[in-house]
Amino acid sequence: MLPLLTCLSIAACGSDSADSPTPPTPPVEAPELKADICYLIVTTKGDMTLAIDLTNVPVTGQNFKTYADSGFYQETLFHRTISNFMVQGGGLTTGLVSKPGNDPIINEASVGISNSRGTIAMARTNDPNSATSQFFINVLDNPQLDASASNDGYAVFGQVVAGMDIADQISIVATHTTGGRQNVPVDEIVINSLTEISCPVN
């Protein structure tokens, strides 16, 4: 199953396992996001700079780095956009064709970094340990996506450090339902390239 949004969460249409473990409680004080490596993402809507945290969320950060460094994201789409929520991409190509990814990774949402505006997190199915290549950018604060005692959450692994206005523009494009998918941009939004760059100096 592809990681897709349903209702108020970022999950696929599937059943929760009856014997799934209790979600871990996140730490009381979450670490600050690190900018260990940065990427320029060039899209047909404009450019954004992403800072990726390899320190606090090493599995998730390295997973994104592996996809990015291999050129996997080139010519994939931002295929799902919801105004005042998020924009999602990284797993489908033109015509909404699924691009096979690597093995799924463990969910590091329990680290406690919040899904605040501008952060980047992994999309997944109802299985908390199902994320592969798809990611989303929060365009508003979305604490309902954070890990808690009753919620596995969605692992934040980076943030947009330049070009957040582009994410905002992507989030408000005209969308439709097609091929059984909702909130699909009418005009495809393509990731032309995603390349490593020097991180901006604060």
Give the CA count within 13 Å in the CB-facing half-sphere of 37.
18
pLDDT score, position 200: 87
Q: Are 129 and 168 in contact (CB under 8 A)?
A: no
pLDDT score, position 18: 42
pLDDT in tens, the chain (202 residues): 445 444 344 543 333 334 555 665 555 688 999 999 999 999 999 999 999 999 999 999 999 999 999 999 999 999 999 999 999 999 999 999 999 999 999 999 999 999 999 999 999 999 999 999 999 999 999 999 999 999 999 999 999 999 999 999 999 999 999 989 999 999 999 999 999 999 988 6
- The DSSP-derived string for 167-183 is HHHHHTS-EEEETTEEE
Angle at 141 between CA 172 and CA 192, to 5 degrees: 45
In the block, tokens 């989303």 appear at 136
pLDDT score, position 6: 40
Alpha helices in 18-144 (DSSP H): 58-70
Q: Which structural domains are found in the chain, ordered by start?
A: 31-197 (2.40.100.10)
C-alpha torsion 78→158→125→85, nearest 10: -60
pLDDT score, position 29: 83
